[in-house]
Amino acid sequence: MTGPQNDLDQLSFPDRTAAKPVEFKMGKYKWELLVLLWVAFFLNQADRQIFGVVLPMIKADLHLTDGELGLISSTLVWTYGALVVVAGFIGDRFSRRNIIGICLLLWSIATLTTGLCTTLIQFIFLRGIATGGGEAFYAPAANALITEQYRQKRSFALSVHQSAVYIGIILSAVIAGAIAERYGWRASFYSFGGFGIITAIILFIRIRKDIPVIQVNRIGISKSAGVILRKPTFIFLSLAFAAVVFVNVGYLTWMPSLLVEKFDLSLSSAGFSSMFYHHIGAFTGVIIGGLIADRLTKWDRKHRLTVQAIALLIGTPFIYWMGAATNERMTYIALFFFGLAKGAYDSNIFAALFEIVPSRIRSSASGIMLMFAFITGATSPYLLGILKPTLGLSAGLSWLWVMYLLGGALLLIAMLFTFGRDMISDKNDHTFERA
């Protein structure tokens, strides 16, 4: 069942011949593409995390204050949030292969040269602006490119790609820490940056150059944005995503401190435990969620939202439990199942979005949604920090369950009342490979 024609459907290709330049007869190539993008996304996350891993060494070596170190990290988030919406619109107007390769090359060079920094200004420019700006251009183009090559297995392909986030966070902590302990903190930036440069070169050689789908019938940025924002389902999806990011950023920022305060763990032990159990659960959940969603959507495409809504509602009590648990074992169990739920939700972030947005403006839609979520989510650590002296960190993290409940409710509303008329029909979007 499809909804009535609207402005967004009218942005699809007028005929099948117009879409032929972006169709590929793919066999093994599509899996090679997915592997290369997985590695690129792994580096996207890993390069973002290694600063936190080696932060104590940088502080001791260069005598930077906590405020200055925090400013460096905040600059990256602000830069990412400001530019990701620009990246989305660009991703619909230029070759997505070229965008991915160039931004990977740029942020890898920035990561490598961060190892040369000796002053705060250098860190702000290379670590904050250059790295954050380069990384902002990856996700909109990459998710749109993957979706163009998959149809029946859309959620699974995007889930595999999303798993790079969790592996990147876990392995970057281990690898960067080991390199820094043996060779110094600068070597960590040299190693990850150098590997990224090599990956960018391979990517340019192996990934076929695509033709921007928007070239067929150019659409202005303001019109694209207006059409996207008039979709009620897009609003519900974006609000739910913002609620999830709000929880995630707060958890990533304050969970290590909670483990130190509550269970008297060392900083390194708390950092590992707070990330490992959660992201192992998330890795499991993202694969399971993607497989289930692809199977259910053979009957009804709204079930991508069903999987997301159920995942958030299941995760709600475990978020409360991770803050309220009175011993380490119970805390880690809660973190695992919280991660499992988040992974299942993550498996359909973009797969659900792309059910209502034709390929011609998918990168733009991704950029708008990411920008809104990052700007909203960035307030979470600040609010938890303000409430910490009175409410307490344990209670503050526990009450994040409210956001998952809200997100799940919003997705259910979209699934029941708006998705049916907002989704696009396959006949109006011909850029997919017949997988």
Where are the chain's structural domains?
28-153+165-210, 223-424
pLDDT of residue 266: 77
Q: Which residues contact 249 (CB under 8 A, 6 or more apart)?
A: 377, 378, 380, 381
Burial string for 85-116 (b: 16+ CB within 10 Å, else e) reads bbbbbbbbbbbbbebbbbbbbbbbbbbbbbbe
Residue 18 in this model has a pLDDT that exceeds 50: no
Q: Which CATH number fits domain 223-424: 2.40.30.160, 1.10.3720.10, 1.20.120.1460, 1.20.1250.20?
A: 1.20.1250.20
* Domain pair 28-153+165-210 / 223-424, same fold: yes
Residue 35 in this model has a pLDDT that exceeds 80: yes
| Rounded distance between C-alpha atoms, residue 435 and residue 326, angstroms | 49
**Cβ(111)–Cβ(47) below 8 Å:** yes
Burial string for 162-196 (b: 16+ CB within 10 Å, else e) reads bbbbbbbbbebbebbbebbeeeebbbbbbbbbebb
Residue 10 in this model has a pLDDT that exceeds 50: no
pLDDT-based confidence at 358, cuts 50/70/90? confident
At residue 177, what is the residue type? G
Residue 174 in this model has a pLDDT that exceeds 90: no
Higher pLDDT, 149 or 200: 200
- Which range has the worst mean pLDDT, 155-169, 308-322, 381-395? 381-395
Could you tell me the two tokens for 76? 């990256």
Which residue shows structure tokens 């942005």? 11
Q: Give the number of other CB atoms < 10 A from CB of residue 386.
A: 11
Higher pLDDT, 267 or 424: 424
- Mean pLDDT (whole number) for 293-312: 95
pLDDT-based confidence at 220, cuts 50/70/90? confident
Q: What percent of the chain has pLDDT over 90?
A: 57
Residue 14 in this model has a pLDDT that exceeds 70: no
Which residue shows structure tokens 């699974």? 156
- Mean pLDDT (whole number) for 247-275: 83
Q: What is the pLDDT of residues 63-118, one digit of tens each?
A: 988 778 878 877 888 888 889 999 999 998 888 999 999 999 999 999 999 999 99
pLDDT of residue 406: 98
- Mean pLDDT (whole number) for 379-388: 82
pLDDT of residue 13: 40
- Mean pLDDT (whole number) for 224-237: 94
Query: Quick one: fold of 28-153+165-210?
Result: Growth Hormone; Chain: A; (1.20.1250)
Q: Mean pLDDT of all residues in the chain?
A: 86
